[in-house]
Amino acid sequence: MNNRDMRPAENPLILGIETSCDETAAAVLRGRGILSNVIASQADIHREYGGVVPELASRHHLERIDAVLDLALERARVSLGDLDAVAVTRGPGLVGSLLVGLQAAKAIAYVRRIPLLAVNHLEGHLRSVWLEHPGAPFPAVSLIASGGHTSLYVSSDENHVVRLARTRDDASGEAFDKVAKLVGLGYPGGPVVDRLAKTGDPGSVPLSPPKMSDGSLDLSFSGFKTAVLRHAKARGLDRRFPAGEPDQETRDLLASFQSAVVEFMVSRVMTLAHRERARAICLSGGVACNSLLRARVAEEAGKAGMGSFAVSPALASDNAAMIAEVGRRQLLRGEIADLSLNADPGLDF
């Protein structure tokens, strides 16, 4: 390693790499300033299968990683020789996808003799809020809602994070995808459900929120999916619209589903925010793009005198800027990974 890993710059230049699922992403940060943030989505590739196919995902990461890295450096107007460190997602995620990014980062770290920083994908989502909203106050309750994860955390300050609750089955984004697939709307389901729900009646189909037998504030979404499935089959709505726009009854069902899921999450968020005496509620992950969720969190936070901070779409989906930000924090603490680092698809946070 060179001397930069021993005396890191106050505003280090860090390359971030993210390949945990089906986005190939690279970003360059100077301190907390985002110089570039490149994301190559595979949504079109996996759409015909109704979800991410791990083998295809890793193959396309291999095909795109070099071009994505080159474009991130080009847009940032820097070269590999300018970097102070390289940060990469270690997990959680799909093992084949993780390995592509990890091997690229290790090669760069080895050849350029710069520090390698191993990042937890979920911490990246959590920290993305402060990357975009550095003034968000503490204590803060954070909801990470995505296709693979839905969890709630409390941050007493910038350095201390504790998980308060998580889903016991489907993630919220996964539930949106499955419901969309059920009525023939394709993948990914979140954006299309959000759009169509705006023209439906959210009170048309009663959907009850789950209750945990142990009184836990954990989340669960499989029951919503099952209820929608039963209703759709009873009404002949399942897979009825493989092409084109669905009818009003289907729109009403989607609006009811979205409303029930959002209100369930908002209820959990506010219960924990009051319990923890939070000053801020933070929203990140792909489902943070949902317009109803953003509006309801902001509304309820405002009523409670709390701040509401949701990431922009560019930092809501899987991206490498959030990985570089966590890496920056690790570099300043001297937490350097060894080149023997391996992927950890089940990494906890």
pLDDT score of 139 more than 80 = yes
Average pLDDT estimate for 33-49: 85
- Same domain as 238, residue 144: yes
Residues 21, 24, 26: CA angle, nearest 5 degrees: 125
Segment among 69-83, 134-148, 182-196 with least mean pLDDT: 182-196
Q: HEC profile for 138-167? A: CCEEEEEECCCCEEEEEECCCCCEEEEEEE
Residue 76, phi then psi, degrees to nearest 5: -80, -10
- Same domain as 142, residue 62: no
Instruction: Assign residue 113 the CATH number of its domain.
Output: 3.30.420.40
26 occurs within a structural domain: yes
252 SS3 class = helix
- Same domain as 324, residue 273: no
pLDDT at position 16, please? 98
Whether residue 11 contacts residue 125, with contact meaning beta carbons closer than 8 Å, is answered with: no
Whether residue 30 contacts residue 321, with contact meaning beta carbons closer than 8 Å, is answered with: no
User: Which of 278, 309, 325 finishes a domain?
Assistant: 278
pLDDT at position 1, please? 45
308 occurs within a structural domain: no
For residue 246, the one-letter residue type is P
Cα–Cα distance between 288 and 239 in angstroms, integer? Answer: 27
For residue 124, the one-letter residue type is G
- Same domain as 92, residue 40: yes
* Total number of domains constituting the chain: 2
Strands 161-166 and 150-155: antiparallel
203 occurs within a structural domain: yes
pLDDT at position 56, please? 86
Cα–Cα distance between 106 and 161 in angstroms, integer? Answer: 28
Residue 101: domain span = 3-125+317-333
119 occurs within a structural domain: yes
305 occurs within a structural domain: no
268 occurs within a structural domain: yes
pLDDT at position 5, please? 44
- Same domain as 258, residue 212: yes
- Same domain as 261, residue 230: yes
Label residue 239 by pLDDT band (50, 70, 90): low
- Same domain as 143, residue 95: no
306 occurs within a structural domain: no
Whether residue 164 contacts residue 144, with contact meaning beta carbons closer than 8 Å, is answered with: no
- Same domain as 121, residue 147: no
- Same domain as 20, residue 119: yes
Please give the structure tokens belonging to residue 139.
Answer: 């204590």
340 occurs within a structural domain: no
Cα–Cα distance between 65 and 101 in angstroms, integer? Answer: 8
Label residue 240 by pLDDT band (50, 70, 90): low
pLDDT at position 309, please? 97
Average pLDDT estimate for 275-280: 97
- Same domain as 31, residue 86: yes
Please give the structure tokens belonging to residue 66.
Answer: 């070099």
- Same domain as 187, residue 253: yes
Whether residue 317 contacts residue 286, with contact meaning beta carbons closer than 8 Å, is answered with: yes
Cα–Cα distance between 133 and 151 in angstroms, integer? Answer: 20
